[in-house]
Amino acid sequence: MAEELIIENSASKAEKYNSLIPQIEALVTGEPDLVANLSNIASALKYGMGYFWVGFYLVKNDELVLGPFQGPIACTRIAKGRGVCGTSWAEGSTLIVPNVDEFPGHIACSGDSKSEIVLPAFKNGEVALILDVDSDELNDFDEVDKEHLEKLMGIIEGLL
């Protein structure tokens, strides 16, 4: 098990992801506990990439329920189709939101969150969980984040 992540702070965003994702994969390989793995993934993303909030919402009984996360206190339950996470779940697709205040029905768990990327992970063709990454800066997420985080979601799907 890794004791620390090795990320070059002056590296580009893509370079950071290229360094971080293999470290995350090594960290979760051989560990069968989903909660432990999601906890370490949330921490690795928060501290490796410097995001404001990183966490998972698990699909349970027709709603999203807060799972492992890093950052300020978060919303505990989200209905399907509600807010960014609920919309990503309903659509089964990645959403990049440059300004959360402009997203219809945005759920403001923290007023400090300014932009967001949300990605689903699938099990047996159904969304099983959502990765939610927030920034305290506007327009902080782009296609680079989408590409690399979708690769990470493939790793996570292998854990489900």
Q: Which fold, 13-157?
A: Beta-Lactamase (3.30.450)
Is residue 153 within 8 A of residue 131, CB to CB? The reply is yes
Supply the pLDDT for residue 132. Answer: 96
Supply the pLDDT for residue 90. Answer: 95
Domain boundaries, the chain: 13-157
Q: Give phi and psi for 97, each to the nearest 5.
A: -120, 105
Cα atoms found within 13 Å of the Cα of residue 54, Cβ hemisphere only: 16
Which 8-state DSSP code applies to residue 110? Answer: -
pLDDT by position in tens, the chain (length 160): 456 777 777 789 999 999 999 999 999 999 999 999 999 999 999 999 999 999 999 999 999 999 999 999 888 999 998 889 999 999 999 999 999 878 766 666 666 788 999 999 999 999 999 999 999 999 999 999 999 999 999 999 999 9
